[in-house]
Amino acid sequence: MGTDTTIAIERTKTPSTPPTTLEFRDICYQVRHKDGQNKQLLNSVSGAFHSGRLAGILGPSGAGKSTLLNILSGFKTNNVSGDILINGTPIDRRKYRREVSYTPQDICLLGNITVTESLEFAADLKLSPTTTIAQKSAMVVDVLKLLGLSKCAHNPVANISGGEKKRLSIGLELISNPSIMFFDEPTSGLDIIAAMQVVAHLKDLAASGRCVICVIHQPSSSILQMFDDLFVLSEGHCLYRGPLDGLVDTFKACGFECPNYYNRADFALEIASLKHEGNLLQLRERAKQQAIEAVGEKVVPNDGPNCGEKDAMLMPPEVVEDQQNSASSASDRQYLTSEWGQFVTLTRRTMLCTFRDLQLTKMRLLAHLFVGLLIAVVFYDVGNDGSKMLSNASCLFFFLIFVFFANSMPLVMTFPLETSVFVRERMNNWYSLKAYYFSKLVADFPFLILGPSVFLAGAYYLTSQPMELDRIVMLWSICIFTSWIAQMTGLLAGSVLPLELSVFCVPCSVIPMLIFCGFFVRFREMFDFLIPFTYVAYFRYSFEGAMQAIYGFDRANLPCSGDFCYFSKVPKFLDSFDMLENTFVMDVCGLLGWIFVLHVGLYASLAWRLKRTR
């Protein structure tokens, strides 16, 4: 750690606080397989982690490490039994989520904002409104110094290294000064130097008075040496819990001899993987006995230089006092920031990310402009000619097809990552589902309007559609509603399905809507049992609404440039598509109904993602 980091750590501290002990007793967790059989992933696991000490959960793949971490952090609550206590008191889950943070193995961050902006938005979302802008800025600077991120403070998150992303994910949770911090394999995917830097920062956080617990997988000897305590798991059972220095002696007492100069982590993993002969049951019983003996014991503070003092290098004393007062005055509230404040901050962040996203903004607008001109060239001057009315119907249909896919597919490509960020932040108690949901809708709304408007600006005039304000507004509104449905379809697919599947499913889901819209096959030519499906196809309302906008409401017959025009009268042309005149309002109501259903579906899908995570 450099001088700047040391200063950041020591500069400001909270008043002395009692040490925190996270204790868990008889934690059991089981899942049901597809064959109907229950599998026990954790079997009466007990233990304790103390503030001021860096603790690691070690074990082979499938031992239950991440499952235990998810349970202790409050992420996973279904099918869980057992007790979790803070300083001997059972946790209140509502308040507990405010006191802990969880950083998953796969880091999901918004890549279009800078490191500093990420921390500033985190401060706006997680801190009390009484915290001033100057105080928040000072806290962000301190986090940057503490985690060694000052040199990349103004770089977009997408352009920083893996180790810097790991440290940034730590900093985002550090903003709220949590007393307990969980990390799932914080060194995965990093080289040895970057991994040591990350663990060194975790060590400093623990030494400052926090309870820091992380899952580790095959750590090197140098990295393992930084840990104070180990919790070894094997097939859902605890084999060892206690100080790192006691690991070898405990295993030796049960018949497991560690060779000289051998990595203790590798030795423990080999035992947990049943690759050494010895009394494994004795190890399990010894760990259980230690847990029983530890119940009721008084927590002894660590002898480290910062024991009992929860460092708030980010929080000056007056800010800490404001936070404590806010928490005490609103202890029944889940968030320090109001839902309106969350909504405003999330809207600003989403709009900033969208404006900086090349694919989602510039390419999207350029595509609307280019395709609009292309369609205008292909269907040039077809809108005011009675001999080209079928071609003009095809032109209107292509208007709608392009508007739909141009506004759904970009979101299908980008929203899955944003959903992963939402799940991580929501589970870490940053904001409510309601605030995120409405902020997403409001932030995307300008682009929902802008794209179709740019598209129609040139295409409408060059295809010689009627230059009447009411018809322009009607066709524009139909394109906006179609774009709205497309946007919601993309968001819904991106929130429920993985990227590879959503890219396939969205186009496939549109096919039935196109078949039953009345353009390819007339309604009177369908089987009777298929007719009801035409009333649930949103493209029917889009196409019919577009045709009504151009040809409905008693439009005069069009001039005929050819020798003979079959559709010499506009009502006859509408009748050929099985359309009645002046049904525009019904078409708009049909589109609004679909928009409402998709909004409800998106909210339900986000809530389902959160529930599935638990």
pLDDT cut 70: percent of the chain above it: 87
Number of domains in the chain: 2
Token pair for 137: 């800025």
Name the most confidently modeled range: 15-29, 101-115, 263-277. Answer: 101-115
Task: Write out the residue range of the structural domain in which residue 204 sits.
Answer: 21-293
From residue 345, alpha-carbon distances to 154, 420, 590 in Å are: 20, 18, 34
Whether 302 maps to a domain, the answer reads no
State CA 429 to chain mean position distance.
13
Residue 148 CA to residue 226 CA, distance in Å, equals 19
Token pair for 73: 């952090």
Question: Average pLDDT for residues 220-232, to the nearest whole number?
Answer: 90
Whether 261 maps to a domain, the answer reads yes
Name the most confidently modeled range: 132-141, 259-268, 285-294. Answer: 132-141
pLDDT-wise least confident of 7-21, 229-243, 457-471: 7-21
From residue 414, alpha-carbon distances to 294, 357, 432, 503 in Å are: 49, 10, 22, 11
Q: Are residues 399 and 506 in the same domain?
A: yes
Residue 335 CA to residue 327 CA, distance in Å, equals 9
Whether 313 maps to a domain, the answer reads no
Q: Are residues 39 and 175 in the same domain?
A: yes
**Given this model, what pLDDT does residue 564 score?**
67
Side-chain half-sphere CA neighbours of 65 within 13 A: 29
Q: Which domain-ending residue is among 293, 316, 348?
A: 293
Residue with tokens 């800490």: 320
Q: Are residues 161 and 282 in the same domain?
A: yes
pLDDT-wise least confident of 166-175, 387-396, 487-496, 552-561: 552-561
Q: Is 26 a residue whose pLDDT tops 70?
A: yes
Q: Which domain-ending residue is among 278, 293, 308?
A: 293
Whether 170 maps to a domain, the answer reads yes
Q: Which domain-ending residue is among 293, 309, 326?
A: 293
pLDDT band at 213 (very low <50, low <70, confident <90, very high): very high
Following CA atoms 91, 93, 94, 96 in sequence, which dihedral angle do they give, to the nearest 10 degrees? 60
**Given this model, what pLDDT does residue 104 score?**
83
Question: Concatenated DSSP letters for 251-293?
Answer: HHHTT-PPPTT--HHHHHHHHHTT-S-S-HHHHHHHHHHHHHH
What's the CATH number where 157 sits? Answer: 3.40.50.300
Q: Are residues 286 and 365 in the same domain?
A: no
Whether 253 maps to a domain, the answer reads yes
Q: Are residues 146 and 274 in the same domain?
A: yes
Residue 42's DSSP bridge partners are 29
Nearest-Å Rg of the Cα atoms of the chain is 31
Q: Are residues 76 and 214 in the same domain?
A: yes
- The contacts of residue 298 (CB under 8 Å, 6+ apart) are none
Q: Are residues 72 and 165 in the same domain?
A: yes
Q: Is 3 a residue whose pLDDT tops 50?
A: no
Q: Are residues 369 and 286 in the same domain?
A: no
Residue 130 CA to residue 318 CA, distance in Å, equals 10
What tens digit of pLDDT does each residue of 349-375 get? 998 988 888 767 778 888 889 998 999
